[in-house]
Amino acid sequence: MVVVKEVAKKNLKKNIILILIVAVLLGLTLSPLHSWPASFSPEVFWHLRFPRIITALLAGGAVALSGLLMQSYFQNPLAGPYILGIHSGATFFVAMWFMFFHQTAGLLARLGPIGSALLGSFLMMVIIISISKKIGNKILLVLLGLFVSQLTSGLLTVCLNFAQQDHIKAILLWSFGTFQRTALSDLPFLFLASVVPLLLAFRMAAHLDLLHLGETYAHLSGMNFKKISLYVIMLTGFSAGLVVAFCGPIAFIGLAAIHLSKMLFKTERHVVLIPASFLIGSIMALTVEALNLCMTPLSLPLNAVLGIMGAPVIILFIYKMNFRQA
């Protein structure tokens, strides 16, 4: 009992540190002090910088949460929305909407990309899950996701040859991943994509622990495996799809944030990993925005910086996993 309390205290301290890091990054990115006194504009702040920073905070956490849910469902430490092609499927459908329905206006123009991203996200989830049940091999599952990503990327490249020049540029910039396209009116959608799934996943933390151990163990523990699996699929598809609709595909956070949280907290319990992964995902995204702010007017490509940050973590994880097996 004493040991459990000590572990809980340590985890609480680590979470507080992560929250403080998020607060510091928010302070650095939102602070107008670097712009005083001549160039600071409240209008620019509220309509450009504020939505961009809050988007990074919410989208980074949402992608990390989606990655954790996918790893739990597939019992695969290399699973993630970017790796398994969920983001690429959503990207393809959104790009098709922009190409063929760009002349729409009003509510349809606003909801069309969101619906397209959700359709692509859920469709890819269904495809990957259906095939994974017949494969059963974790490495083959990752390869399957990579091949599906290449397929959708190839289809998108072919389709872009028939698009107008201005549409090609806009789609390509968005497909590289960005936090710069969102407005204040978009933030409620990103709140739905991140905070709502976070709260629902946290309520299911005990079930996710069982899900991570596999179907047989879950049934023996009395858990309704199909029901919880459906919840996980719905949360993952919904969260990943909405993020892509506003930010494009975001790489590495869905893998690196989870493994960083596991290294930091040294646990597989979802009651710890859910908030920790969300916070670390937000920290990674906010770090990119902080770097961009320091380098203004230059803008670093989002996924390139995330690759530099996330790749060493994944390499370290694979090395440790291989070392344990040896």
pLDDT one-digit tens code per residue, 205-218: 999 988 888 777 87
Q: Look at residue 144 in the predicted model and tell me its pLDDT.
A: 83
What is the mean pLDDT for each group of 10 consecutive residues in the chain (326 residues)?
56 73 69 50 74 90 94 87 88 85 73 89 89 75 83 82 74 80 88 93 91 80 85 92 91 89 88 92 87 71 81 78 57
User: What pLDDT shows up at residue 30?
Assistant: 61
For the stretch 24-31, contacts whose Cβ atoms lie closer than 8 Å and that sit 24 or more positions apart, written own/partner, are 25/283, 25/286, 25/287, 25/289, 25/290, 26/53, 26/57, 26/286, 28/290, 28/293, 29/53, 29/56, 29/286, 29/289, 29/290, 29/293
3-state secondary structure of 77: coil
pLDDT digits (tens, 9 = 90+) for 21-53: 777 777 666 665 444 444 556 776 777 778 888
Taking the C-alpha atoms of residue 54 and residue 184, their distance in angstroms, rounded to an integer, is 9
In the DSSP assignment, the letter for residue 130 is H
Position 36 scores a pLDDT of: 44
Is the distance from CB of 228 to CB of 211 less than 8 angstroms? yes
The predicted pLDDT at position 39 comes to: 52
* Helix boundaries (H) for the chain: 2-30, 42-44, 50-74, 86-100, 107-135, 138-160, 165-175, 187-203, 205-213, 215-220, 225-247, 253-265, 270-294, 302-325
Give the span between the Cα atoms of 21 and 286, in whole angstroms.
Answer: 10
**Cα–Cα distance, 274 to 3 (Å, whole number):** 22
Q: What is the CATH number of domain 2-31+41-325?
A: 1.10.3470.10
Contacts of 12 (CB under 8 A, 6+ apart): none
- Record the tokens describing residue 196, joined without a space: 């709502």
